[in-house]
A and B are shown apart, each in its own frame.
Chain A
Amino acid sequence: MIEPIHVLLIREQAEQLTGGCCGTVGDDELVSGGREIFTDARRDQVALGALHRLIRDFFPPIDGKEQVRVDVVDPRNQFYLFFRLWREVWRYRPGLRAGLQTALQLFSLPAVIVNGQVISRRGRPLDADTFCQTVRQMRRRMETTD
C-alpha cells in the first residue's frame, strides 16, 4: 500500500502572533464586524486556500484512503513547526541542500513542502499544474519503489 503524499502548507495567520488573551480576538466577527486588520497575510491565506481546495479536488480519497495528506501550519506554532520540519527532513531525506532548505522554512513564509521538499516559497508562487505534476511524479516514484 502506498503511503499518502504529505503536503505541508506554511502560511501566515491573519491575526496577531503574540496577542495572548488581549490581542488575538480579531478573528471573532462579533469584535471585528468581519473586517480585516492583517490584509497582506489574509491575501496569502486566501491564495493557499485555493491550493488547498485544488488538492482536495484533484486527489480525492480512493476507497476511503487519502492520496494526499495536507497540514496547514502557521508561525504562531513555532515550536511544532520547528520539530515538524526536521522530522520531514529525517523521514524523507531529500539530500543535504534540499534538506537544509526545508529545515529553514521556519523563516520563509508562505511555503509549500511536499514529502520533505520545498516546492514553493516566498516570492515564488506555485501554479496548480506544477503542483499536480510534482505530486503525480512523487506518487509514481513511490509506486515504482513499492
Chain B
Amino acid sequence: MWENAAVVALAAFAVLVAAYFTYGRFIADRICRLDPNRVTPAHALQDGVDYVPTRVPILFGHHFASIAGLGPILGPAIAVIWGWGPALLWVLFGCIFLGAVHDLGALFVSLRHQGRSVGEVARSVIGPRARLLSLVIIYFLMALAMGAFCNAIADLFVNFNPDAIIPSVGLMIVAVLFGTAVYRFRAPLGLTTLVALAAFAGLIIWGVEQPVCTYQWGLSAETVAAIEEGKNAPPEAEQRIELPYGADAAKRYLSAAGRNAAVEELATAVPQVQLRWIFALLAYGFLASVLPVWLLLQPRDYINSFQLYFALGTMLLGLSLAAIRGAEAAHIEAPWFRPDVPGSPPWFPFLFVTIACGAVSGFHSLVSSGTTVKQLDREPDARPIGFGAMLTEGALAVLVIMACAAGLKSQYWGPDGLYASWKGVGGGGLAAQLSAVVLGGAEFLNHLGIPAKIGRTFLAVTITAFALTTLDSATRLLRFNVEEICRSIRLEKLANRYFASAVAVAGIAFFALVSGKTLWTLFGTANQLLAGLTLLTVSLFLYQLGRPVLYTLVPMVLMLAVSSYAMIWKMLDLWGKQSWTGEERNLFLVSCGVLVLAFWLVAEGLAAFARGRVAADGLAADTGPPDGASPGAQRE
C-alpha cells in the first residue's frame, strides 16, 4: 500500500489538514491570541488601494500565488536522492512546526505594528542594526537565486533541453508584441491572450521538432557528423541520441561509441557555450530591467501565469489518474531511505538545507508583511492565510517528491540512472535537478494524453520562462536593495541607480559564474537565515508581551544550528583540500560571508533578549491597543 504514490500523498495531505486544526489552532489562539475584535490595519488604514479588507478565500489565493514558486519544486527534487521517506518527513515536520509558524508569526507581528514589514519591525524590536542585517541577507538571497537561475538556464539549454530554446526566445518576442498591442494599441485583451497562447503552443511544437543544439556550433565537422549519426540512428538501435538531443545525451552516446576524441572536444566546447549563454542572459537581465515594464516583463509574466497554473493543474490531475489506473507512474521506485549516496555530502544536515522553501522560507515573511497583512479583514484570518497557505505549499512539495519518486520510471533509480549517484542530480547542477522534475512531470502529463516530448518541452519552458521573468524584476529590486544598503551605512553618494545597477548585476554574475552545483545549498541557507531573523523578531515580540516563546524560539535555534552546521561542514571539506580552484576559493569566501551573517544574527538575538522585556524604541506606541484590552475603536 505504501508503495503507491497516491496513497502516500493522500496520507501526507491528511497529516497537514490535521495539523491545521490542531497545532495551527493552538499557535493562533494560545500563543498569538488572535483577537477577532481588534481592528486590523486593513480597516484602520483602509484606502481601497493597499489597505483593503479582503475575505479569506480571495486573500488565500493572492497569498498562495505569491509564495508558491520554484523553491518547493527544486529542493524536494534534489533531496529525494537520500530517499523519499526523510524528504517527506522533513517537509511535513518542517512545514508544520517551522514554516507555518514562521509565516503566521510574521503576519502576527506585522498586524500588531500597523502592517509594517518584518524588517522594519525588527528594527523596533531588536535594534537599528537588524534592518541592515535584513537588507544584506536579502541581497545575498536575491543575487544567489538569480545567479543560480542564469546558471541553470544556460545548463538546461545546452545539456538537457535544447528543445526549450525556440519557445523561450520566441516567448520574449510574443510578449513584446502582446505588450505593444495591449498597452499601446489598446487591442482587446481576451483575443490577444488567445492569440498569444496559440502562438506559444506553436512555438513549443516548433521547439520539439527542431531542438537548437548550440553546443554543436564551433565543433569540428567530424564530431558534428558523429552526433548527427547518433540523432538519426533508427529507434531500435542500441546506441542513439534521444530527443531533445542535449549535450549530456550526446556525450553518453559518443562515449559508448568509443569516439574519445569527439568526447574530449565536446567536453571542452560545452562549458564555453554555457558561459556564452550566461553572458547573454546577464545582458538580457540588464536590458529587461531598464526596458519599460509593460513592454516585456508584464506581458510575459501574464502569459507565464497561464503556463504555471496549467502545469500545476495537469500534473496533479495526471498523478491522480495514474493512481486510479494503477499505472506504473503511481508506483514508488525510489528507496525509502538511502543514507549512503555515492559522492554526496551527508544526508544530515544537507537534506534540511536542500529542502528550503517546501519546509520553511524566509521569503514568505516579506510577502506576509508586505501585501497580505494590509488586506487581512480579521485577526483570526491570519491562521488560514499564514498557517494554511504554508501547509498548502507543503502539499505541493509532497507532490513533487512523489513526481520524482514515482513519476520517473525505474531506470532513473537504477545503477546508471539520474539518481544513482550525487553526480547525476545533486552534483550535476541545478539543470540536472530541474531536468528530473521535467521528466517526472512529463510522465504525469502523459496520463492526460499529452505526448511525453511535448510535455517535457512545455515544462522546461515553463520553468525557464518563470526564471527569466523573475530575473527581470529581481534585477530591478536588487538595485533598490543596494541603494537602501548604501543609505543605511551612510554612503548616500553611492545610492544612485548606476552604481546600484552595477553592484546588482555584478552580484548576479558573481554567483552565476561561481558554481551552479552548490548554489542551491547556499540559497537554502541564506533563505533560512532570513526565516531565523523573522522568528527571532517574533520571539522577542512574544517575550515582550509575556507569552511563551518556545514555539518560535526552538524552530529558530534548530534552523540556525542545522544551516550553520551544513555551512561549516562544507567549509571544512574545502579547507582539507591540498589546493583550491578559483571556483572553490570563491565558494569558501561566500560561505564565510553567509556564516558571518548567521553569527551576527545570533549576537543580535542574545543582545536583544539580554535587554529583557523593555520595549524598544516606540514599540508601545506602534502596537495599537494594549494586549488583551478591548480596542476603543470598533471595526468598520
Contact = CB atoms under 8 A, between A and B. Distances in A.
Interface of A: 13, 15-33, 35, 37-41, 45-46, 48-53, 56, 71-80, 104, 107-109, 122-123
| Chain B facing A: main interface SS | helix
B476 interface: yes
A71 to B, nearest CB: 6
Interface of B: 46-49, 52, 54-55, 57-58, 61-62, 65-71, 117-120, 131, 134-135, 138, 142, 145-146, 183, 186, 188-190, 193, 293-294, 297-298, 301-302, 304-306, 308-309, 357, 361, 363-364, 366-367, 369-371, 466, 469-470, 473-474, 476-477, 480-481, 483-484, 527
Contacts of B469: 16, 18-19, 23
Contact of A80 (B49, B61, B294, B364): B61
B87 to A, nearest CB: 19
B309 A78 contact: yes
A22 B70 contact: yes
23 contacts: A18-B308, A19-B301, A20-B70, A20-B466, A20-B470, A22-B146, A25-B363, A28-B119, A30-B119, A30-B138, A31-B138, A31-B480, A33-B483, A37-B297, A37-B476, A38-B298, A40-B183, A49-B47, A52-B52, A71-B55, A72-B54, A75-B302, A104-B190
Contacts of B363: 21-22, 25
B120 A29 contact: yes
Contacts of A25: 138, 142, 363, 366-367, 370, 477
| Chain A facing B: main interface SS | helix
B371 A15 contact: yes
B287 to A, nearest CB: 15
Contact of A20 (B67, B294, B302): B67
Given A37-B477, A40-B183, A21 B69 contact: yes
Given A28-B119, A122-B189, A80 B69 contact: no
A23 B357 CA distance: 14
Contact of B293 (A13, A21, A40): A40
A30 B473 contact: no
Contacts of A40: 183, 293-294, 298
Contact of A30 (B54, B65, B117, B297): B117
A74 B135 CA distance: 29
B48 A49 contact: yes
A74 B52 CA distance: 12
B62 A18 contact: no
A77 B131 contact: no
Given A25-B477, A48-B48, A76-B305, A19 B366 contact: no
Nearest to B312: A79
B55 to A, nearest CB: 7
